[in-house]
Structure formats: C-alpha cells, structure tokens
Structure 1
Amino acid sequence: MTVFTIEDVRKTFTNGEVTEEILKGVNLSLKEGEVTALVGASGSGKSTLLTIAAGLQPASDGQILFEGTNLTEMNAEQVRKVRANKFGFVFQFAHLVPFLTVEEQLMLMLDVAGTKMKKSEQKKEIDEILSLVDMSHRKKAYPSSLSGGEKQRIAIARAIIHKPKVLFADEPTASLDSKRSKDVMALIRELTKTLNITTLLVTHDEEMLAYADRIIKMSDGQVA
C-alpha cells in the first residue's frame, strides 16, 4: 500500500541574483513495509528531497501526500505534529542527550510524541523496543559508555519507540565501520518489515543497497 507520495517537488535557492534549482520536479511513491534507498552523487538532491519529504524544510513547488493528506497545505505547527507523531528520524550521528540514560532517552521521545502513556506503560514499551534492537542490557547506560554501533541502535530505537508510519534515515551508517554498518542496515530492514514501516533511506555506500527493496537513483535534482 502506498503511504507517501511526492508529486512534482521542486526546490530553488536564491543567493543574491543567482537562483539555483536543487530539485527539478521529482515524483516518487513510498510503500508500506519497504525500504526505499535514494542514491546519487554529492549535490544530486537526495538529502534535500528527504528533508522536504520529512517536513524539515518546505518545497518551492509540488505536493507531499502522506496517508492522503497534503502536508504542503499545512501550517508549521500542523507539520510539526505530524513529524512528532508519525515520523521517525535516524541521522549519520546518533545525537543522544549526554546526561540521559538509554531508558530516559526513549522516555523523552514518548513524551515529545505526545503518546500520553502512564509511566508503567512507557517502561513496558521501552523494554519491548530495546529487546527488538538487542540493547536491553544497556538500558541504564549513558551515551559516553556506548560504542558507535550501540549508539546507532539506540538512535534507531528512539526513532521507532512511538510507532511511526515513516522512518527517514539520512546516511545512518556513514560514521560506522563496515561490520557495524551492515548490522545497522540489517536492523533497519528487519524493523521495517516487523513493524510495517515505510522507510526512506539516503546513502552513498553501495554495499548498503543490498538491504533496500527499491533503489532510486538521483542525478542533477531529478530521478534518473
């Protein structure tokens, strides 16, 4: 089932008298339970497309349809609520809060998403997610004691703790070695299937494409 549709999306930036078109009418549909990978050279527009789809910056033209709703017609607060409740994010670096334990990181995300769970329900949900990412034994740990791979696993747990419909992953393995990269991508794929998430992945690492269901190549602001 198609969950997310990008229709004729364009993005231009103006610097003084110079206008540069970064995206030139991109069309793309994302399906439930699939990992779709965006690949292309630096400057091809893949990260710009991801951030626009995720509501982190506006498109200059075109439409973003999520579950039949046009995000481009929403105001900033409405888009923020969709991001908090329906989207999950994983980036190159984990960006964990240094003074919070793993459990507290996930509890904070549940609060931000407005899940309105009781503390006992939150703890149960956290235990289940940590089990899924094989990090139950690190629940009370602080980020400073985690390895790079462990930090990314916690970042993934944080991204899915509120049961998002869409997971946006922008170069999630770029800071990891080959083995940890494969472990993280295998985990993202497994969770996409297990939780029936729609995942949009940006990567420059061709080895990671083995974990994608669909590969979309971008060149010069367009789908190649």
Structure 2
Amino acid sequence: MTLFTIDEVRKTFTNGEVKEEILKGINLSLKEGEIIALVGASGSGKSTLLTIAAGLQPASDGQVIFEDNNLTSMSSEEVRKVRASKFGFVFQFAHLVPFLTVEEQLLLMLDVSESKLKKSEQKNEVDRILKLVGMDHRKDSYPSSLSGGEKQRVAIARAIIHKPKVLFADEPTASLDSKKSKEVMLLIRELTKTLNITTLMVTHDEEMLAYTDRIIKMSDGVILQNAL
C-alpha cells in the first residue's frame, strides 16, 4: 500500500538575483514497511528531498501527499502536528538531552507527540521499546555514560516510541564505526519490518544499502535510478 507520494516536487533557493533549483520535479512513491535509501554525491538534493518529505521545509512547487493528506497545503501548525504524531527522526548524531536519563528521553517524546497513553502505560511502553532496541538495562543511564552505538540505539527508540508511520533517517550511521553501523542498520531494518514503518534514509555508506529494499540514486536534483 502506498503511504507517501511525492509529486513533481521542486525546490528553488534565491541568493540575491541568482536562483538555484535544487530539486527539479521529483516523483516518488513510498510503500508501507519498506526501507528506501537516497544516495548521491553531496549537493545532489537528497537531504533537501528528505526534509521536504518530512515537513521540515516547504517545497517551492509540487505536492507531498501523506495518508491522502496534502502536506503542502496545510498550515505550519497542521504540519507540525503530523510531524509530532506520525513521523520519527534519526540523524547522524543522537542529539540526546544531556540531563535526561534514557527512560526520560522516551517519556519526553511521548509528551511531545501528545500520546494518549496513561502515565502508567507510558512507562510500560518505554520498557517495551527499550527492550526491542536492546537498551532496557540502561534506562536509568545518562547520555554521557553511553557509547556512540548505545546513543544511536536510544535515538532510534525515541524516534519510534510514539508509533510513527514514517521514520526519516539522515546519515544514521555516519558517526559510527563499521561494526556499530551494521548493528544500527540491522536494528532499523528489524524495527521497520516488525512495526511496519516506512523508512526513508539518506546515506553515503554503500555497505548500508544491503539492508534496504530500494535504492534511489540522485544527481543534480533529479532521480537517476529507482532500483528495486
């Protein structure tokens, strides 16, 4: 089932009198439960495409349709609510709050996403998700005591605690060594399939492509190849 449709999306930046078209009419459909990798050289437009799909910046033209809702015609507040409740985000660095424990990081995300779970249910859900990512034994730990791989596992747990429909991952393994990168990608794949999440990921690491279902190659603001 198609969950996300990107239709003729363009993005133009203006610097003085100079206009630069970063995205040049992108068309892309994302299905439930698949992992899609966006690859290409720096400046190809892949990160711009991810942030537009995620509602983090507007398109100059075209439409982004999510669950039959046109994000490009929504108000900024409406888009924010979709992001908070339906999307999860994992970046190159974990960006954990330094003064919150692992458990508190996830509870904060439930508050931000306006979870309807009762407080007692939230604690149980945090325990369940931390067990899924293999971090239940560190729930009382602070970020300063975690390794890079552990921090990224917590970041992934935080990104999925509110049961998002889409996970956006921008270079999620770039700050990790090869062994930890493979562990994190295996975890993302397992969670994507187990929870039926659609994952859209930007990566430069070709070894990570083995964990994806589809590879989208971009260059100069266009899709060169959409490979199964």
Shorter-chain TM-score: what band? over 0.9
1:76 aligns with 2:82: no
Q: Which amino acid aligns with 1:106?
A: L
**Separation (CA, whole Å) in 2 of partners of 1:117 and 1:201:** 29
**Separation (CA, whole Å) in 2 of partners of 1:136 and 1:104:** 13
Per the alignment, in what secondary structure is the counterpart of residue 11 of structure 1? strand
Question: Deviation digits for residues 81-112 of structure 1, max 9, x if unmatched?
Answer: 00000000000000000000000000000000
Aligned to 1:123: 123
**Separation (CA, whole Å) in 2 of partners of 1:79 and 1:156:** 22
**Separation (CA, whole Å) in 2 of partners of 1:109 and 1:8:** 33
Q: Output the TM-score relative to the length of structure 2.
A: 0.98
Aligned to 1:35: 35
Q: Supply the RMSD in Å over aligned alpha carbons.
A: 0.4
**Separation (CA, whole Å) in 2 of partners of 1:2 and 1:118:** 32
Aligned to 2:16: 16
Question: Deviation digits for residues 9-41 of structure 1, max 9, x if unmatched?
Answer: 000000001000000000000011100000000
**Separation (CA, whole Å) in 1 of partners of 2:66 and 2:116:** 23
Aligned to 2:135: 135
The Cα shift of 1:119 comes to 1.4
Per the alignment, in what secondary structure is the counterpart of residue 96 of structure 1? coil
Structure 2: runs of 5+ lacking an equivalent: none
Match runs of 1:161-180 below 5 Å: 161-180=161-180
Tell me which stretches of 4 or more aligned residues in structure 1 moved more than 6 Å. Answer: none
Q: How much identity, in percent, do the aligned residues show?
A: 83
The Cα shift of 1:162 comes to 0.2
Per the alignment, in what secondary structure is the counterpart of residue 64 of structure 1? strand
**Separation (CA, whole Å) in 1 of partners of 2:67 and 2:220:** 29
Per the alignment, in what secondary structure is the counterpart of residue 116 of structure 2? coil
**Separation (CA, whole Å) in 2 of partners of 1:131 and 1:84:** 23
Aligned length: 224
Q: Which amino acid aligns with 1:78?
A: E
**Separation (CA, whole Å) in 1 of partners of 2:116 and 2:6:** 31
Question: Deviation digits for residues 143-169 of structure 1, max 9, x if unmatched?
Answer: 000000000000000000000000000
Q: Which amino acid aligns with 1:95?
A: H
The Cα shift of 1:116 comes to 2.8
Q: Which amino acid aligns with 2:179?
A: K
Q: Which amino acid aligns with 1:222?
A: V
1:184 aligns with 2:203: no
**Separation (CA, whole Å) in 1 of partners of 2:5 and 2:186:** 25
Per the alignment, in what secondary structure is the counterpart of residue 215 of structure 1? strand
**Separation (CA, whole Å) in 1 of partners of 2:214 and 2:4:** 14
Question: Deviation digits for residues 52-105 of structure 1, max 9, x if unmatched?
Answer: 000000000000000111000000000000000000000000000000000000
**Separation (CA, whole Å) in 2 of partners of 1:108 and 1:7:** 34
Q: Output the TM-score relative to the length of structure 1.
A: 0.99
**Separation (CA, whole Å) in 1 of partners of 2:106 and 2:88:** 12
Range that drifts further, 153-162 or 117-126: 117-126
Per the alignment, in what secondary structure is the counterpart of residue 103 of structure 2? helix
The Cα shift of 1:117 comes to 2.0
Structure 1: runs of 5+ lacking an equivalent: none
Aligned to 2:197: 197
The Cα shift of 1:118 comes to 1.7
**Separation (CA, whole Å) in 2 of partners of 1:193 and 1:134:** 17
**Separation (CA, whole Å) in 2 of partners of 1:27 and 1:222:** 9
